Amino acid sequence: MSTKIFNGHEIVGHTLDSFLPVLRSLQEQLRTLAHRQAVRVITRLAVALHDRHTLGLEVAKEQNFLMAAEFEVMRRQKEVDATKRRDPTVDFEFTVCLFPVEGRLLATTYVEQRELKQLWDVQTWRREFGYWDNTDPPEELAEAEWDERARLWGLVFPGYDAPSEVGYSFTLLPMDGHFLFANNEEVAAHLPTLEERAQAMSIPWLLHRRKAEGQPESKTMSEFRALQASPEAEEALREVTAKLAPHLSAQRLRGESTGPVG
C-alpha cells in the first residue's frame, strides 16, 4: 500500500502544548481572511445576478442580490457536505491535525481555499514535510532526509488510520457562516469595475438579443470566436457599458431600483 502525505508539515520549535496558543492566534487571522474572501465571493456572484437581471437576461425572484447570492453559496456548501465533492470557491473549512512524535510535531492540513492555505504556508514555524512513495521524491531533498520523513510518518500512521484517529484534530474554520455582518463598504471594496462587468455581460447580452431577433445561433467554436471579434460584439460592449453604468453601487445589490432596463 502506497503512502501519500502531500499535505504534511513540521511545526518547528514547538511542542503540542506550546503550539496551541500559536494556533489560536492563527485562527483569528484565518477568520478575518475567510470573512474577506466570503464577501468577495458573494459580492461577485451578486453582481452577476444583478447585471443579468438589469440587462433583462433573466428575471430575479429575489432582488436583494446579496441575499440571493448568499443563499446560492449556502446551497453549494450543503452540496459539498452531502456529496464530499470539491467546490473550493465556497468551501472555507480549515482543519489541522497535529502529531507529536519523538519530540517533534508534525501536522497535516485540509483546506480548499488557496488564500487560506497560503496564510498557513508562509508561517515561520511551518516547514513542508510531505512524503510519498508512489513517485520520485523532490530532487532538492537528500536521500537521508526523505528516509527520515518516511520513518516519522510511518510512526504516525503505522496502519491505514484516519488522521483524526491518531492525532489531535482542530477545526480552525467551518465551511460556512463567514459573510455575516458584511457592510456596504466591505462589499464596495470587492465590486468589479464597470469595464469588467461589461466585458462579462456583453456576449451573453448579445446572444440573448440575437436569439430574440431570430438570428442564427453560433453552433461551433469558430463561429462563436468570430462573433466575439465582430463589430457587433464591440457595439454590444458599448451598449452594455451604458446600461450598467448607473447601477454600480453596493446599495444596488441590496435591491434598490433594480428593474430591468430597456
Q: Which residues contact 29 (CB under 8 A, 6 or more apart)?
A: 119
pLDDT tier at 231 (50, 70, 90 boundaries)? very high
Residue 66: how many CB atoms within 10 A of its CB? 25
Is 20 among the domain residues? yes
Q: How far apart are CA 179 and CA 41, in angstroms?
A: 9
Cβ proximity of 54 and 247 under 8 Å: yes
Query: How is residue 77 written as a grid cell?
Result: 456548501
CA proximity to 42, closest of 186, 221, 147, 248: 186
User: In this model, does residue 180 exceed pLDDT 80?
Assistant: no
User: In this model, does residue 37 exceed pLDDT 90?
Assistant: yes
Is 253 among the domain residues? no
For residue 8, list its beta bridge partners. 108
Is 12 among the domain residues? yes
pLDDT tier at 19 (50, 70, 90 boundaries)? very high
pLDDT tier at 217 (50, 70, 90 boundaries)? confident
Q: What is the count of structural domains for the chain?
A: 1
Is 205 among the domain residues? no
Q: How far apart are CA 76 and CA 67, in angstroms?
A: 14
User: In this model, does residue 119 exceed pLDDT 50?
Assistant: yes
Q: What angle do CA 66, 28, 46 make, to 5 degrees?
A: 10
Is 57 among the domain residues? yes
Q: How far apart are CA 219 and CA 28, in angstroms?
A: 51
Is 127 among the domain residues? yes
pLDDT of residue 262: 44
pLDDT of residue 248: 86
Q: How far apart are CA 255 and CA 66, in angstroms?
A: 8
CA proximity to 113, closest of 9, 169, 184, 31: 31
pLDDT of residue 82: 93
Q: What average pLDDT does the segment 177-192 reach? A: 86
CA proximity to 42, closest of 199, 250, 187, 185: 187
* Strands laid side by side in the 94-101 sheet: 126-128, 8-11, 104-111, 94-101, 168-173
pLDDT of residue 252: 87
pLDDT of residue 261: 46
Is 227 among the domain residues? no
Domain enclosing residue 40, as ranges: 1-190
User: In this model, does residue 21 exceed pLDDT 90?
Assistant: yes
Cβ proximity of 203 and 236 under 8 Å: yes
Is 35 among the domain residues? yes
Q: What average pLDDT does the segment 147-166 reach? A: 85
Q: What average pLDDT does the segment 188-200 reach? A: 94
pLDDT tier at 159 (50, 70, 90 boundaries)? confident
Query: How is residue 213 written as a grid cell?
Result: 431577433
Q: How far apart are CA 139 and CA 206, in angstroms?
A: 52
Least confident window among 64-78, 89-103, 174-188? 174-188
Least confident window among 7-16, 160-169, 183-192, 251-260? 251-260
pLDDT of residue 162: 73
pLDDT of residue 1: 55
